[in-house]
């Protein structure tokens, strides 16, 4: 993909600078996590030979604006459009986030699209977003979708929580058990999500292979 390697280098330098910049405000936090999310999706797109928008979930003008915001216009590599249509689940999660967004604006829109797309991936949501830890995802959702995030009173895994919120909005339950405590899948919803991120684990594997 033309320009991807150059943009990856820029993102790596920008990410490193932001990680070591010390105290950050809300805008600085948004920038730091956006850089991480775009960097992760771009690396994945390069590995799979797919357009970045397909892995990121931000399409068309929104993707072009995001690339300009991060000063990585070369990441476009030609077209900012997806080659595949979004799945129904992605659309539903995206609309759930949009409906619960604290304020309108491009950053919240980008985050809604990215979280919805990355929720389709198999790992913990914070890992598939490319974040350093689950706490970054919690902060992100608290910051941009506070009313929705506040409903996660028992610290349910965020992907499970978002899908459960969709089910409740449609008026039906996704769980066979009447209460979480008596459910056989309790650990799937509330199990530990700590540990090294997927990025760290991949780097370790690369170092071991050298």
66 and 118 within one domain: no
Domain boundary among 64, 84, 104: 84
Domain boundary among 68, 84, 100: 84
- Residue-level pLDDT at 104: 87
107 and 74 within one domain: no
Provide the H-helix boundaries in the chain. Answer: 4-19, 26-48, 52-56, 60-69, 88-99, 106-118, 125-128, 134-144, 146-149, 158-169, 186-190, 198-209
Rg (the chain; Cα; Å): 17
196 and 110 within one domain: yes
pLDDT tens readout for residues 38-61: 999 999 998 999 999 999 999 999
112 and 198 within one domain: yes
Structural domain that includes position 123: 86-210
Domain boundary among 51, 84, 117: 84
The winner for highest mean pLDDT among 131-140, 161-170, 178-187 is 131-140
126 and 189 within one domain: yes
CB-based contacts of 168-174 (< 8 A; 24+ apart in sequence): 169/96
**162 in Cβ contact with 119 (< 8 Å):** yes
* Beta-carbon contacts of residue 112 (< 8 Å; ≥ 6 apart): 94, 97, 98, 101
142 and 102 within one domain: yes
50 and 90 within one domain: no
pLDDT tens readout for residues 88-127: 999 999 999 999 999 889 999 999 999 999 999 999 999 9
- Indicate the number of domains in the chain: 2
121 and 22 within one domain: no
């Amino acid at each position: 993909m033309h320009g991807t390697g150059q943009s990856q280098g820029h993102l790596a330098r920008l990410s490193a600078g932001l990680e070591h910049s010390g105290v950050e405000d809300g805008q600085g936090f948004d920038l730091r996590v956006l850089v991480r999310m775009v960097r992760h999706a771009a690396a994945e797109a390069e590995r799979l030979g797919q357009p970045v928008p397909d892995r990121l979930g931000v399409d068309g003008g929104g993707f072009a604006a995001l690339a300009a915001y991060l000063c990585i216009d070369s990441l476009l590599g030609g077209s900012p459009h997806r080659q595949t249509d979004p799945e129904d689940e992605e659309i539903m999660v995206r609309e759930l986030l949009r409906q619960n967004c604290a304020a309108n604006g491009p950053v919240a829109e980008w985050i809604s699209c990215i979280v919805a797309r990355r929720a389709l991936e198999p790992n913990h949501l914070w890992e598939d977003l490319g974040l350093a830890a689950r706490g970054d995802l919690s902060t992100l959702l608290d910051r941009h979708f506070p009313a929705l995030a506040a409903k996660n009173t028992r610290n349910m895994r965020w992907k499970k929580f978002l899908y459960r919120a969709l089910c409740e909005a449609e008026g039906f339950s996704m769980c066979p058990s009447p209460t979480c405590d008596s459910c056989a899948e309790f650990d799937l919803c509330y199990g530990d999500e700590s540990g090294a991120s997927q990025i760290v684990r991949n780097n370790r594997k690369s170092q071991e292979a050298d």
